[in-house]
Structure 1
Amino acid sequence: MTLTIETERLILRAPVQADFDAGWAAFHMDSECMRYLGGAMPRSIAWRALAQVVGMWSLLGFGQFSAIDKATGRWLGRVGPWRPEGWPAPEVGWLFHREAWGRGYATEAASACLDFVFETLGWDFVGHMIHPDNLPSQAVAQRLGSRLVEMVTLPPPMDAAGPTQMWGQTASDWRQSASSGAFRSSASKA
């Protein structure tokens, strides 16, 4: 499946090799960006993370998107559906480079991805696995209409960080928030 989703400011598309040097490697090697995600990675491990995300597209027909700034063409982060083996629930996650923090990109992109997983993939529930100390990501989840569901343990090796918060919502919750005028992106499939 080749898919591009456009929002007001972003293009969401499957990651490609060129993304690695366009920002992927720098993001994954940055200790501040990776503070709640297991810590900074060496460049070789960051490349394997890219291959993992690209591979999910081949195996499952969906995966996380690279988020590209429409105005500049700059790689800003990765966002979208995530469903590795042993994960507590199907997830929509977001990871943005620190230069993109505080600008609403995560909420904008994740909103478009929630539309995608509920309307196109037919998911009934989506979770967001968030470190208990990651207050900015918890705020994004709240803006999306998600609530704290429970504490979960991620599969190895992610379990080493201890229990993680699972935020989430049902497709029905998402549709109800849309009909009530809650925040929604102007996402459209291109």
Structure 2
Amino acid sequence: MMIPTIETGRLWLRPFTPQDAPTMHQILNGPDVLKYFPGPQTVTETQVERMIGRLLAHWQEHGCGLWAVEQRTTGALLGRCGLQRITETNEVEIDFILDPASWGQGLATEAGQASLKFGFEQLNLAEVVGIVHPENLASQRVLQKLGMQFTAATEYFGMAVHRYVITQPNFANQTVEK
């Protein structure tokens, strides 16, 4: 499958390349980036290289996946965003991680909106979920801005999470909050 590239007002969502590993390594090891993720709070560059390989393979296997998020004006890699299939539950989840230097500018919302549009309009998904740590208020706010509704405080793979969902009809009928 050819991974599409999507243009938004300020961003390119494009396929990852092996050359993205050093910058993604820096981003993932930034302050508080992995704070709400299970497992280690730091990653090696080799782990990031493997992650990029898995992200590309996910596209081939599931027809969706995570894009590299690139700033259009500078070409700077800012992080990742997209849709991943959770094989254990067969749900499609929105995922985003951005460089702390780009937090608070609405970029996660912009990339998330493009990801949802792709999922609903190109993949004809019925719904997309958002799974977030209960203390990760910034990511919960992004999900809310995307029109996702809180549905449950639950557990995913042994970790307490808040679950959000948006359906295709709700996405089609909304205006996104900036």
- Name the TM-score, length of structure 1 as normaliser: 0.86
Aligned partner of 1:20 in structure 2 is 21
Q: Which amino acid aligns with 1:183?
A: V
Q: Which moved more, 1:96-105 or 1:142-151?
A: 142-151
Aligned partner of 2:36 in structure 1 is 36
Counting only pairs closer than 5 Å after superposition, residues 92-111 of structure 1 correspond to structure 2 as: 92-111=94-113
Aligned partner of 1:66 in structure 2 is 68
Aligned partner of 1:169 in structure 2 is 166
Are the equivalent residues in 2 in contact too, given 1:19–1:75 (CA < 8 A)? Answer: yes
Q: Structure 1's 109 and 147: CA in aligned 2 closer, same or farther, altered over 3 A? A: same
Between Structure 1 and Structure 2, the one with more strand by share is 2
Aligned residues: 175
Give the alignment's Cα RMSD to 1 decimal. Answer: 1.7
Aligned partner of 2:119 in structure 1 is 117
- SS of the residue 1:90 aligns to: strand
Give the Cα–Cα distance (whole angstroms) in 2 for the partners of residues 105 and 36 of structure 1: 19
Which runs of 5 or more residues in structure 2 are unaligned? none
- SS of the residue 1:30 aligns to: coil
Q: CA deviation at 1:84?
A: 3.5
Are the equivalent residues in 1 in contact too, given 2:10–2:71 (CA < 8 A)? Answer: yes
Are the equivalent residues in 1 in contact too, given 2:31–2:100 (CA < 8 A)? Answer: no
Q: Which amino acid aligns with 1:6?
A: E
- SS of the residue 1:163 aligns to: strand
Are the equivalent residues in 2 in contact too, given 1:54–1:63 (CA < 8 A)? Answer: yes
Which runs of 5 or more residues in structure 1 are unaligned? 186-190
Give the Cα–Cα distance (whole angstroms) in 2 for the partners of residues 97 and 15 of structure 1: 16
Are the equivalent residues in 2 in contact too, given 1:14–1:63 (CA < 8 A)? Answer: no
Q: CA deviation at 1:67?
A: 0.5
Q: CA deviation at 1:151?
A: 2.8
Identity of aligned residues (%): 27
Q: CA deviation at 1:126?
A: 0.3
Q: Which amino acid aligns with 2:26?
A: A
Give the Cα–Cα distance (whole angstroms) in 1 for the partners of residues 79 and 107 of structure 2: 9
Give the Cα–Cα distance (whole angstroms) in 1 for the partners of residues 58 and 154 of structure 2: 22
Q: CA deviation at 1:88?
A: 6.5
Q: Structure 1's 40 and 88: CA in aligned 2 closer, same or farther, altered over 3 A? A: farther
Give the Cα–Cα distance (whole angstroms) in 1 for the partners of residues 134 and 86 of structure 2: 21
